Amino acid sequence: MIKIAAFGGYSKIGKSMTIIDVDGEMVITDMGADIERLVDYEDDKSYISLKDTEALAQNGVIPDDREFFRKHGKEVKAIVLTHGHLDHIWAAPFLAAKYHCPIIATQFTTKVLEHLMRNVKQHNLRILTLNPRIKYRLSKDISIEFVHMTHSIPNTAISVVHTKYGAVMYANDWKLDETPTLGKRPDYERLEEISKEGIHSLILDSTNVDQDGYTFSESIVRTMLEDVIKKTLSNKTIFITTFSSHIARIKNIVEISKKLGRQVMIFGRSMEMYLKAAADTKIIEKGKFPDVAVKRDRINEFLKYVRDRPGKYVIICTGHQGEKGAFLDKLTTGQYDYKLGSDDAVIFSSRVIPTALNIANRNMLQKALDDLNVNVADNIHVSGHASRNEHKLLLKMLRPKHYIPSHGGLDKISSGIEMGKELGYELNKSSHILLDGQELVFD
Ligand SMILES: [Zn+2]
């Protein structure tokens, strides 16, 4: 018997956590935070510690696994983390230790997790770094494997629980990038092999399943960025803001800027964390990247050079969602010794993640930039989530017996169910709607 229970990440994006139960032996995939609620919670707190665990669960910041743990804690054989985005791993330092089982993750995810653990002084997690294509046996009946997949953060994997009923696959999150600028294409060869062995069920990130066509490759953004940087007048200083975890994007910006004769500076705390994880895992060459400036004095010191030599620098920074306290917010509100103006350009290599808070923050940031006559380019970006045609490709390739769309709420899940119908998947027989708090049982 296989049971799949949704703790988070199905009814809305965030707080991803799923329990895969194979004849009473359980695997937890992902332990993430609800980022919106985390931001709210952080607003009232100067520091979050392990003592906050219960309050975090009560406030919906992390999955509430208290009852589950009481009933089934001993049956959990492993906690598997698929990639380093905070909506998939942030809760692990708070929730994982009590299970007394290994946390299994790929190299980059491990490094990000270690950083999160240090932040809250959690030292009691047993982390096992597992590379793709290697099967790790959890018991005589089940084993775990990662299959390399493309997304918007290095070392993303589809997790596979091998069982006697077939493989249970969890693909949160993913896109099919044929020409990634960092790392390899998806491991189609291994996916096809697993498909031949038989796939029981596939849990599939549906964030963009309602978008027609394909999600473009990261190499397209590289070209877009080069185009925009070239078109920005040579006397302007360029600030580029993007997702700190998007190492491929940051690496491309550094390389393009250097090629075009500009020096690069990187500002912001989250940039520091993710770039350190990338350097530690040799995903980037540390020597080719500038040190990240985080503290105000250091940033001011750097900004002095920028002021003296307009047009000579590209500054990669945090703040693309207009978040309070990020570099761009502080820059536009006069908290650094640098006055933004018509000699500056700001490039958003991002899109607004559409929550009410982000939209409001981003609008305020835009108004501030407009008032200062800054040259703005927006949405120099492609998504890290697969569109409809890629969903069809992957489903046709894998042919799971059961298709379970996830990640994006009921609207997206319904789009997934519709798409599945075109490929012969029938609701409640071979495709299933699963929302947070619900479970599916396959006898
Ligand atoms: Zn992700």
Average pLDDT of the segment spanning 380-396: 98
Token pair in block for residue 424: 């012969």
pLDDT, one tens digit per residue, over 4-55 is 999 999 999 999 999 999 999 999 999 999 998 998 898 878 789 999 999 9
Evaluate if residue 397 carries a pLDDT over 80.
Answer: yes
Distance 157 CA to ligand 1 centre (A): 10
pLDDT band at 248, cuts 50/70/90? very high
Whole-number Å distance between alpha carbons of 84 and 344: 33
pLDDT, one tens digit per residue, over 269-289 is 999 999 999 999 999 998 889
Average pLDDT of the segment spanning 204-218: 97
Distance 151 CA to ligand 1 centre (A): 7
Run of H or E including 375: strand 375-377
Question: For residue 286, what pLDDT is reported?
Answer: 87
Evaluate if residue 343 carries a pLDDT over 80.
Answer: yes
Question: For residue 1, what pLDDT is reported?
Answer: 96
Evaluate if residue 79 carries a pLDDT over 90.
Answer: yes
Average pLDDT of the segment spanning 327-334: 95
Question: For residue 355, what pLDDT is reported?
Answer: 83
Break the chain into its structural domains and give their ranges: 2-214+384-442, 218-377
From the centroid of its chain, how far is CA 63? 17
Q: What share of the chain is helix, strand, coil (3-state, %, to 5)?
A: 35, 20, 40
pLDDT, one tens digit per residue, over 412-428 is 999 999 999 999 999 99
Distance 368 CA to ligand 1 centre (A): 30
Average pLDDT of the segment spanning 106-135: 97
Distance 275 CA to ligand 1 centre (A): 17
Residues with CB under 5 A from ligand 1 (ion): 85, 173
Token pair in block for residue 188: 């189609």
Distance 89 CA to ligand 1 centre (A): 10
pTM of the model: 0.96
For a pLDDT cut of 70, what percent of the chain falls above it? 100
Domain 218-377 fold:
Rossmann fold (3.40.50)
| Domain made up of 2-214+384-442: CATH architecture | 4-Layer Sandwich (3.60)
